[in-house]
């Protein structure tokens, strides 16, 4: 198997694993955050504005992890830095 093919296969598998693992963690975290916020709202209805504002900031921070994983997988698929290096090395032979 050529090294270009190996790089392509490794990039696709790594991108898939990045998206899979990078979306499971934030999804579980967001579910737990919403569950805790709803419990807090049920116990302290007077603090609804503060709890809601803090919840949305927390959800945005949790979601940024999934977005970073998406960016990394897009780089691996479309702008792979290893790809150009391997192509240049094989063209020189």
pLDDT for 17 equals 94
**Mean pLDDT within 23-51:** 94
3.50.50.60, 1.20.20.10, 2.102.10.10, 3.30.870.10: CATH of 3-78 = 1.20.20.10
Residues 78/11, Cβ–Cβ less than 8 Å = no
pLDDT for 8 equals 85
Q: Domain ranges in the chain? A: 3-78
**Mean pLDDT within 46-55:** 94
Could you give the angle at which helices 48-78 and 3-43 cross, rounded to 10 degrees? Answer: 180
**Mean pLDDT within 81-85:** 79
**Mean pLDDT within 14-23:** 93
For the cut 80, the answer to whether the pLDDT of residue 71 exceeds it is: yes
């Amino acid at each position: 198997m050529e090294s270009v093919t190996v790089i392509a296969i490794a990039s696709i598998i790594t991108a898939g694993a990045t998206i899979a693992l990078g979306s499971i963690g934030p999804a579980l975290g967001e579910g737990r955050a919403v569950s805790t916020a709803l419990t807090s709202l049920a116990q302290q209805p007077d603090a609804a504005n503060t709890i809601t504002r803090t919840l949305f900031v927390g959800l945005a921070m949790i979601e940024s992890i999934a977005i970073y994983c998406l960016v990394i997988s897009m780089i691996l698929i479309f702008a792979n830095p290893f790809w150009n290096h391997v192509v240049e090395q094989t063209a020189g032979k």
